[in-house]
Amino acid sequence: MATKYGGYMGKVLKINLTSREVSEYPFSDEERELFIGGKIMAAKILGDHLTGKEKAFSEENLLVVTTGPLTGSGAPSSSRFNISTLSPQTGYITSSNCGGNFGYYLKKAGLDALILTGRCEKPSWIEIQNDKVVFHEAEDIWGMKTSETQSALDDKLRMKNGRVRKNGKICIGPAGENLVLYSCIVSNERVSGRGGTGAVMGWMRLKAVCASGNKEIPVYDKEKMVKHTQKWFRYIRNHPLTGNQLPKLGTAGLVSAMQMKHILSTKNYSAGQYDEFEKVSGEELAEKYNIVNKGCLTCPIRCARTVEVDGQQVKGPELETLVLLGSGILNNDLPSILKWNYELDELGLDTISCANTISYAMEADEKGLWKNGLHFSDTGELTKIFEDIAYRRGIGDELALGSKRLSEKYGGKDFAIHAKGMELAAYEPRKAVGLGLGYATSNRGGCHLNGGYLVILEGLGLSIDQTTWRGKADLTMLFQDLMEMISAAGQCLFTSYAFFPTPLMKHPNAWYTKMVNKVLPYCGPAVRLINKYPEIAHLHLPVFHHTKGFEYTTGMKMKFGDYIRCGERGYNLEREINRRFGVNANKDALPKRLTDTLQDPNDPNSKVPLERLKKVYYHARGWDKRGLPTERTLKKLKIDFASESGR
Amino acid sequence: MVRVKIFGVARLKAGTGTFERDVETVDELLGSIPNMTKKEAKDLVLLVNGNPVSRRYRFKDGDEAVLLAPAGGG
């Protein structure tokens, strides 16, 4: 449906893989105003189809690939796209914000989103060129690893003059084909990593989608957007985190800070510090292995690392991989992590869930629950194990199920480190309890980003009290909603760091920074006021360029209050859909290791006071004691239609 | 003698991660970081033996001082 707004191509395509029927999916301007794009738009589409009875591996499931209005607009770090689906890993909906270039080319092909449903009769790949859809057989590329697949597809898209048509791709590797529950979808070297999106695509027998086209991406007020973008780029380049730390050290630069703050998950989250952290740190990576830093399209941050593995220049590990395959399994050998990181991407496995499943298995072996031959510090066989997981061979067939299911079979639920079936990220939450709440309440499961990433306040960027419950619930809600909307708009979540004024990050010892650190936990009521009545924030914050950028791109009015309200709508909509699949307060849980066992026996606060945090959080969110959005909350957010299904 | 460790982008600037200094005060230490002015060093977080300390702290022989800058990632 055509649109009056800039930033949108005005068309959503639905492809039924079973019947090969291609149709335009109606998405109106009223829906764009409420559901924006990205993961919120995807939640609306999923919510219109899923009743709570569907299974991830079924023809009723949908794989929804969405862009945001800022995708390809030229705004900083705006090449992002999102993939949402009913997750085979959690049984709830998952969403994954990805870099790469597929989102940009999907828009160049004239589409805001792509809805895939059904199942191909034979392995296939799809070519979309200027919104025309062509099915191709994929038997010759089925079984290929992800970079080989992408090269083979480029060859197929070669034009008469020998050049490859400019295109963006998403594809799966062997892990997705073999339905590993935490397999991912890859675009260039970037990954839609979490929740098993790759397995859904594999079940659909869809190896890849290529998009290309020459449509112009419209911008509502080009002149103002160009000026604003220049200012925005400058701001990001001058910010200490996005202009200095991330370009120089990447996300890996956090390892040392996490060690100092006792939040470096070590030996399957049994500790927050690792004696040999320096050998697997971001500094070591930067000084000895990084060749050059890279970025996605229009990204001034350029946080990606490039390293050499077996004579090839490949993507280096992100923080999560570095920690979970380093301290997480007591491995101090950085070259092995560089190699595994590359291999896992090639196989199409989510490095976070894979590493945590391995560390669970190591501990289960150590405790005699499951003799599987995996041992902490002993990593010689891991390359083979990763292949075995992707191809579902031997022990790999079991590891492909993830730590939750394995703990149900072999025991050790207390140390199977997941939330809602998805393994946690690399931050040990007993010394960052706000992030602990985020992990537990995140719609897609144990995710730091969907969880609100409060650890940025709890010791990394700022240094508020890491273990107090005060203020954490309200701040978690604010950050979850903010990041929900940044993602929906089509931007990288790292642009959210601009929310922290530069002086606070540059001068951690200044009186005003110390004051913020002291006072922030007591600001819960004030944050609650903004969360509850965001309309009072009817302004553009000087440090937050997103709202003006959104207005200039789309032509919609978007003050800061509107922005977080949209994020809140998305968060609640996902929650409401998950309610249909059985989510409630009992599912917002963490393993007992994190809630009942002290990280530091001398510090009675060094565990996640989850029940207390949840109580405040539910109240702040306008959810009832069962952890479900009330009718009043849904009505306020204009998503009361979503509650009609089986409430 | 104080063993000093620098992390984060400050380490790249200093060009070294670990060194020793014979210093008594925090001010002396901050003035002795390679490739960094005292003003720049003052913007680093200081931990001694794993704990934050005030500017008035007097170093003892065998202390381990850590200097790092605020960081973010994902």
Whether A244 has its CB under 8 Å from any CB of chain B: the answer is: yes
pLDDT for the residue A581: 98
Nearest chain B residue to A260, by CA: B50
pLDDT tens track for A363-373: 999 999 999 99
- Optimal mutation site among A248, A249, A305, interface B, most CBs of chain B within 10 A: A249
pLDDT tens track for A310-361: 999 999 999 999 999 999 999 999 999 999 999 999 999 999 999 999 999 9
Alpha carbon distance A567, A547 (integer Å): 13
Alpha carbon distance A199, A142 (integer Å): 14
Nearest chain B residue to A497, by CA: B72
Q: What ipTM was predicted for this assembly?
A: 0.96
Whether A286 has its CB under 8 Å from any CB of chain B: the answer is: yes
Side-chain half-sphere CA neighbours of B57 within 13 A? 20
- Optimal mutation site among A509, A517, A602, interface B, most CBs of chain B within 10 A: A509
**Residue A319: which of B7, B43, B73 has the nearest Cβ?**
B73
Strands A81-86, A304-309: pairing is: unpaired
Based on DSSP, count helices (H) and strands (E) in chain B, helices before strands: 3, 5
Which residues 6+ apart lie within 8 Å of A352 measured at CB? A193, A194, A320, A321, A324, A423, A424, A425, A426
Which residues 6+ apart lie within 8 Å of A635 measured at CB? none
Question: Inter-chain contact B71–A461, Cβ cutoff 8 Å?
Answer: yes
pLDDT tens track for A427-473: 999 999 999 999 999 999 999 999 999 999 999 999 999 999 999 99
Beta-carbon contacts below 8 Å between A and B = 87
In angstroms, the Cα distances linking A429 to A155, A451, A467, A542, A600 are 46, 12, 9, 32, 12
**Residue A460: which of B12, B43, B71 has the nearest Cβ?**
B71
How many other β-carbons are positioned within 10 Å of the β-carbon of residue A602? Answer: 6
Which residues of chain B fall below pLDDT 50?
none
Cα B58–Cα B60–Cα B63 angle in degrees, nearest 5: 110
pLDDT of residue A512 exceeding 90, the answer is: yes
Q: How far does B22 lie from chain A, in Å, by closest CA?
A: 23
Nearest chain B residue to A427, by CA: B74
Q: What is the pTM of this model?
A: 0.97
Strands B2-6, B64-68: pairing is: parallel
- Optimal mutation site among B4, B5, B6, B7, interface A, most CBs of chain A within 10 A: B7
pLDDT for the residue A1: 67
A281 contacts in chain B (CB < 8 Å): 7
Question: Inter-chain contact A463–B68, Cβ cutoff 8 Å?
Answer: no
Tokens of A103: 């989102």
Task: Provide the sign of the torsion angle of the four alpha carbons A562, A215, A220, A2, taken in this order.
Answer: negative
Q: How far does A250 lie from chain B, in Å, by closest CA?
A: 7
SS3 A389: helix
Cα A436–Cα A590–Cα A407 angle in degrees, nearest 5: 145
Question: Inter-chain contact A448–B9, Cβ cutoff 8 Å?
Answer: no
Question: Inter-chain contact B71–A245, Cβ cutoff 8 Å?
Answer: yes
Nearest chain B residue to A247, by CA: B9
Question: Inter-chain contact B71–A286, Cβ cutoff 8 Å?
Answer: no
The pLDDT confidence band at residue A646, using thresholds 50, 70 and 90, is: very low
Alpha carbon distance A310, A342 (integer Å): 10
Question: Inter-chain contact B8–A245, Cβ cutoff 8 Å?
Answer: yes
Task: Provide the sign of the torsion angle of the four alpha carbons A133, A137, A142, A144, taken in this order.
Answer: negative
Alpha carbon distance A330, A265 (integer Å): 10
Question: Inter-chain contact B73–A246, Cβ cutoff 8 Å?
Answer: yes
pLDDT tens track for A396-405: 999 999 999 9
Residue B20 CB burial class (10 angstroms; 0-12, 13-18, ≥19): exposed
Q: What is the DSSP string of A52-101?
A: S---SSSTT-EEEEEE-TTTTSS-TT---EEEEEE-TTTSSEEEEEE-SS
Give the helix/strand (H/E) hosting B65.
Answer: strand B64-68
Strand partners, A164: A158
Residues of B in CB contact (< 8 Å) with A are: 7-9, 11-12, 17, 42-45, 47, 50, 66, 68-74
